[in-house]
Amino acid sequence: MEMNGPLVTVGVPVYNGERYLAECIESLLGQTFSDFVLLISDNASTDGTGEICRGFVERDPRVRYVRNERNIGMYPNFNVLLRAVESKYFKLANADDYWDRTMLEKCVAVLESDPSLAVCYPRCTLIDETTGTQTRYQHPLHVLEENPKLRFNRVLDELRLVNQLQGVTRTDVLKQTPFFEHPFADCIVLAEISLYGKIYELPEFLYYRRLHPDSSSWKRNDPRHQARRLFSEGTQRFDWPAWKFHLALLDRVRRSPIALRDRVSIEANLVRRMVWSRRELVEECVRWTMQRSTLFSNLGRN
């Protein structure tokens, strides 16, 4: 899976995506910018996903297809793609979404014109699963401050749907992160990226995001839904999501190359956020204690 040559790698992680996958791939292959390779990582799909992918491989030499032997989960499947990238830029593409044909051309042009930018992404139109109703998403995140502390805090304060990672990102920035490791890892990764560069929003609606019950953003606060979508097959839940989220942010700041005074300021702000979230953090501790107590009680009876 070596990626020498093209300026951009487009990565499509997919699991049982036969319903929308062809539309997604066609919108990418039809881009006015063509200097890219499209890598599809199939997470052991059980539907017609593989047949669709192999058909595109035969028709277009830019398409490459790999398949996991088992379902490793959505986030690990993202990481399969990220580890393979050797091009200057990377674009993550959800298999149930699609893009205007000028999206890559416009995003790459902006990034090429300003090396201080880490991400360039277009505005988003949300699509209803059944009726096709389109709603323009009106929560921009245009983060151009020179100070990484200000950028990081703005991302945490203003981020809602993480549409930014569906834009185009500098690979050298992305590879300085540990990729997708924790619950809500998309928020964590974008916040860390803001420590390395600016986030530019194109003022055009070039991204069409489909929301449906099987998408990871459908029940974002439901641990069982998120565990099933994001992690390996058979995972019923992930433990300590709030603690892992806050501690991961602290770790990403600690490992970043920003000035010491900015790092200390961000860490102090993150500690304040943990204080504000103390009820949720305490509830996780209580839940863990009760689970352990029940486990030991059952062992004692046996």
Closest listed residue to residue 170, CA positions, set 120, 101, 123: 120
Which residue would you say has higher pLDDT here, 151 or 291?
A: 151
Token couple for 292: 């352990």
Is residue 2 helix, strand or coil?
Answer: coil
Helices 74-84 and 223-230, axial angle in degrees (round to 10): 40
Token couple for 216: 């990871």
SS3 assignment for 216-284: CCCCCCCHHHHHHHHCCCCCCCCCCHHHHHHHHHHHHHHCCCCCHHHHHHHHHHHHHHHHHCHHHHHHH
Type and span of the H or E element at 65: strand 63-67
Please provide residue 268's backbone torsions phi and psi, each rounded to the nearest 5 degrees: -65, -40
What is the per-residue pLDDT across 224-252, written as a single tens digit (0 to 9) for each?
Answer: 545 555 555 555 566 888 999 999 999 99
In the predicted structure, residue 293 carries a pLDDT above the cut 90: no
Give the residue-averaged pLDDT of 19-41: 97
In the predicted structure, residue 214 carries a pLDDT above the cut 90: no
* Helix intervals (H) in 60-164: 74-84, 103-113, 148-158
Q: What's the pLDDT score for residue 1?
A: 41
Which residue would you say has higher pLDDT here, 2 or 65?
A: 65
Rounded CA-CA distance 29/78 in Å is 20
Q: What's the pLDDT score for residue 50?
A: 97
How distant, in Å, are the alpha carbons of 92, 111, 188 from that of 124?
A: 15, 19, 20
Percent of the chain as helix, strand, coil, to the nearest 5: 45, 20, 35
Q: What's the pLDDT score for residue 297?
A: 63
How distant, in Å, are the alpha carbons of 173, 209, 236 from that of 73?
A: 24, 21, 12
Type and span of the H or E element at 119: strand 117-128
Query: What residue type is assigned to position 6 of the chain?
Result: P
Rounded CA-CA distance 266/72 in Å is 34
What percent of the chain lies above the pLDDT cut of 70? 88
Give the residue-averaged pLDDT of 92-104: 97
Give the residue-averaged pLDDT of 4-23: 94
What is the per-residue pLDDT across 41-97, written as a single tens digit (0 to 9) for each?
Answer: 999 999 999 999 999 999 999 999 999 999 998 889 999 999 999 999 999 999 999
Is residue 148 helix, strand or coil?
Answer: helix
Q: What's the pLDDT score for residue 194?
A: 98
For the chain, the domains span: 223-301
In the predicted structure, residue 292 carries a pLDDT above the cut 90: no
Give the residue-averaged pLDDT of 206-212: 92
What is the per-residue pLDDT across 134-161, written as a single tens digit (0 to 9) for each?
Answer: 999 999 999 999 999 999 999 999 999 9
Count the residues in the chain: 302
Give the residue-averaged pLDDT of 197-207: 97
Token couple for 84: 């393979």
Type and span of the H or E element at 196: helix 185-196
In the predicted structure, residue 24 carries a pLDDT above the cut 60: yes
Sorted by sequence, the CB contacts under 8 Å of residue 298 that are 6+ apart come out as: none
Closest listed residue to residue 95, CA positions, set 232, 256, 230, 210: 210
The residue to which tokens 């990582």 are assigned: 41
DSSP letter (8 states) at residue 143: B
Q: What's the pLDDT score for residue 212?
A: 73
Q: What's the pLDDT score for residue 131?
A: 74
Is residue 120 helix, strand or coil?
Answer: strand
